[in-house]
């Protein structure tokens, strides 16, 4: 009898899990409400999507390059007044030395990004940037796993796009 009850509960559990929808990126936490009480809420680099819809298209990872640490201060300076800056060939050598050639028709743009930092000041080890676009709007998200963060930090990216972004939304988050 116990064996049958265990089997019945296992079947119910499996069937219940199969019915849970799994959303695709961008994640639902991107639509979070930000209050002025949070210290990073007034930082113009952190800019969540006001109304999240599911019509964002992923930008290929091959078109994205985080700016190397030796060039980050200069990249952050260039992005002080604008969330996106078109780059010259010379700039690409500085800000994206690993990804200098891209398909014809794409231009390199320096774009704001933020990440959850670990105790060493670098991005959390499990973290990755995810980038999407909707029309000429770009969404840059950093997601990672962890239980504790040592804060948010600016992390500019170079992204090759066929258009200059009109709006740039930037966010980061951590899941346990």
- Average pLDDT, stretch 123-140? 91
The mean pLDDT of 134-146, rounded to a whole number, is 93
DSSP one-letter code for 22? -
Dist CA 151 CA 172 (whole Å): 11
169 confidence band (pLDDT: 50, 70, 90): very high
Looking at every residue in the chain, the average pLDDT score rounds to: 79
Residues above pLDDT 70, as percent of the chain = 76
Res 39: pLDDT: 56
pLDDT tens digits, residue range 42-75?
788 999 888 777 789 999 999 999 999 999 999 9
Examine residue 26 and say whether the peptide bond preceding it is cis (omega within 30 degrees of 0). yes
**For the chain, which residues make up each domain, given as ranges?**
28-175
Q: How far apart are CA 153 and CA 176, in angstroms?
A: 20
107-111 and 84-86: which strand pairing? antiparallel
Helix (H), strand (E) at residue 21: none
User: Which residues sit opposite 158 in a β-bridge?
Assistant: 65, 110
Phi, psi dihedrals of residue 23, rounded to the nearest 5°: -70, 150
């Amino acid at each position: 009898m116990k064996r049958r009850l265990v089997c019945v509960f296992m079947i119910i559990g499996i069937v219940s899990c199969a019915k849970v929808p799994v959303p695709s990126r961008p994640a639902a936490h991107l639509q979070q409400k930000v209050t002025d009480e949070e210290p990073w809420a007034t930082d113009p680099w952190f800019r969540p999507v006001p109304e999240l819809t599911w019509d964002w298209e992923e930008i290929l990872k091959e078109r994205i390059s985080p700016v190397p640490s030796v060039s980050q201060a200069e990249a952050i300076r260039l992005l002080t007044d604008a969330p996106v800056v078109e780059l010259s060939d010379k700039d690409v050598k500085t800000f994206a030395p690993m990804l200098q050639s891209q398909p014809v028709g794409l231009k390199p743009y320096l774009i704001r990004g933020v990440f959850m930092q670990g105790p060493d000041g670098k991005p959390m080890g499990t973290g990755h940037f995810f980038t999407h676009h909707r029309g000429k709007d770009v969404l840059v998200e950093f997601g990672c796993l962890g239980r504790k963060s040592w804060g948010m930090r600016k992390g500019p990216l170079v992204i090759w796009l066929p258009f200059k972004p009109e709006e740039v939304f930037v966010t980061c988050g951590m899941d346990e």
